Amino acid sequence: MSVTVYQYPKCGTCRKAIKWLDENGVEYEAIHIVEHPPSTTELKSFIEKSDLPVKKFFNTSGKKYRELGLKDKLKDMSDDEMVELLASDGMLIKRPIVTDGHKATVGFKEDTFAQTWK
């Protein structure tokens, strides 16, 4: 199995996810999420494949999220508006996003990775 990992190299969670993939023999292509953020079309696909709401794709602990006051603004935004905002800045996206084209995970939880990517 080969997957695509949208990640930020300085992110500790991303490093844990990459280590898990390496240790479990999962081949991957790593994409720098800030230099090459996913498009709105790609994000919509990941959201659909993950079965998670759009809000789960926001990096709520990130500096940019707090600076823009998104905690209060998201409740008044449509899903399409949220996806557009996510696509505009890779630092707003929770990471890593891992996909094989059929399913997608966001963030890193070892048990989720074991169920999804083994």
Instruction: Tell me the average pLDDT across 6-23.
Output: 97
Question: What SS3 state is found at 94?
Answer: coil
Q: Say whether pLDDT at 114 is over 90.
A: yes
Note the pLDDT of residue 73: 96
pLDDT of residue 1: 78
Q: What's the whole-number mean pLDDT along residues 85-107? A: 97
Global pTM reads: 0.95
How high is the mean pLDDT of the chain? 97
Contacts of 58 (CB under 8 A, 6+ apart): 65, 70, 74, 82, 86, 92, 93, 94
Give the domain range for residue 84: 2-117
CATH code, 38: 3.40.30.10
- Write the pLDDT tens digit of every residue in 47-67: 999 999 999 999 999 999 999
Segment 83-98 mean pLDDT: 97
How many structural domains does the chain have? Answer: 1
Query: How much is the pLDDT for 28?
Result: 98
Cβ neighbors of 112 (< 8 A, separation 6 or more) are 105
pLDDT in tens, 19-41: 999 999 999 999 999 999 999 99
